[in-house]
């Protein structure tokens, strides 16, 4: 049976749980709920759950390192289950994407995201799919760190909840090897208007 790893990025600790930087964790919790599993096993410097979908074993992983060391958990799980980067889906917040917009990519750079930087460094590959959750609507010039570690506004929370089902459906399509279909259906980033 082929193995597929779905990673939600975030920071451990109650004080971080509902912050913008934990959008990936929150989305993974929703996916686990839909798949009727609980992410509570402990290994790989992470909490995780296993289930089967479409003939594949899915490992849902929440690194328990801080964001900057997310790759340690991803690498440990990937080594243990013999999973290549192409079968690792990472779900994370994206500061360059408007709030509550989704962007699905087959691969790419870290784009300044420290969790992705560490994963790319340890996997020695950028060739893994990701679902990016926009958190970019800073109304003021607040410090970037303060912004991503801040809690969602009520409006952002509503948008995030509305997106969870799309993230779940997109993740399953990607696990099935249908990333083009997932991108066509669920990329919610509107291109900027031409000048």
Residue 81 is assigned to a structural domain of this protein: yes
Residue 113: active-site member: no
Chain segment 128-143, per-residue pLDDT in tens: 999 998 876 655 555 6
In a domain, 137, yes or no: yes
Give CA–CA dist 63/51, Å, rounded. 18
Q: How far apart are CA 80 and CA 107, in angstroms?
A: 22
Which is higher by pLDDT, 135 or 74?
74
- The predicted model scores a pTM of 0.87
End-to-end, the C-alpha distance of the chain in Å comes to: 51
Domain range enclosing 139 = 2-186
In a domain, 106, yes or no: yes
We report the CATH number of the domain holding residue 32 as 3.40.50.1470
Q: What is the pLDDT of residues 84-112, one digit of tens each?
A: 999 999 999 887 777 778 899 999 888 77
Residue 124 placed within a domain: yes
pLDDT attached to residue 104: 92
19-23, 128-132, 162-166, 172-176: range with lowest mean pLDDT: 19-23
| 53 φψ region: left (φ > 0), alpha (ψ -120 to 50), beta (else) | beta
Please give the tally of structural domains in the chain.
1
Q: Is residue 74 part of a domain?
A: yes
Q: Which of 21, 82, 92, 113 is catalytic?
A: 21
Inter-CA distances, 173 with 11, 137, 145, 181, 183, Å? 27, 28, 33, 7, 10
Radius of gyration of the chain, Cα coordinates, nearest whole angstrom: 16
Q: Find how far residue 18's CA is from the centre of its chain.
A: 15
194 lies in some domain: no
Does residue 195 lie within any of the structural domains?
no
Task: Collapse the DSSP code of 103 into the 3-class scheme (helix H, G, I; strand E, B; otherwise coil) and give the result.
Answer: strand
Contact 47, 40 (CB under 8 A): yes
* pLDDT tens per residue across span 14-29: 877 777 778 899 899 9
Q: Please check whether residue 42 lies inside any domain of the structure.
A: yes
Q: What is the average per-residue pLDDT within 173-178?
A: 93
Alpha helical stretches, state H, the chain: 14-17, 23-34, 70-81, 114-123, 144-148, 154-175, 179-186
């Amino acid at each position: 049976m082929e193995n597929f790893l779905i990673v939600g990025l975030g920071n451990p600790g109650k004080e971080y749980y509902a912050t913008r930087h934990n959008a990936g964790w929150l989305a993974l919790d929703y996916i686990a709920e839909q798949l009727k599993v609980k992410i509570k096993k402990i290994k790989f410097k992470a909490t995780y759950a296993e289930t089967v979908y479409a003939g594949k074993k899915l490992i849902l992983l929440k690194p328990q390192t801080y964001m900057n060391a997310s790759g340690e958990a991803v690498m440990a799980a990937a080594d243990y289950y013999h999973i290549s980067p192409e079968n690792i889906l990472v779900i994370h917040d994206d500061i360059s994407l408007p709030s509550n917009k989704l962007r699905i990519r087959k691969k790419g750079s870290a784009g300044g995201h420290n969790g992705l930087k560490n994963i790319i460094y340890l996997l020695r590959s950028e060739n893994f799919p990701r679902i990016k959750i926009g958190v970019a609507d800073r109304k003021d010039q607040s410090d970037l760190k303060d912004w991503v570690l801040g809690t969602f506004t009520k409006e952002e929370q509503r948008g995030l909840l509305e997106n969870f089902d799309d993230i779940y459906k997109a993740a399953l399509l990607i696990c099935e090897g249908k990333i083009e279909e997932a991108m066509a259906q669920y990329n919610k980033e509107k291109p900027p208007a031409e000048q």
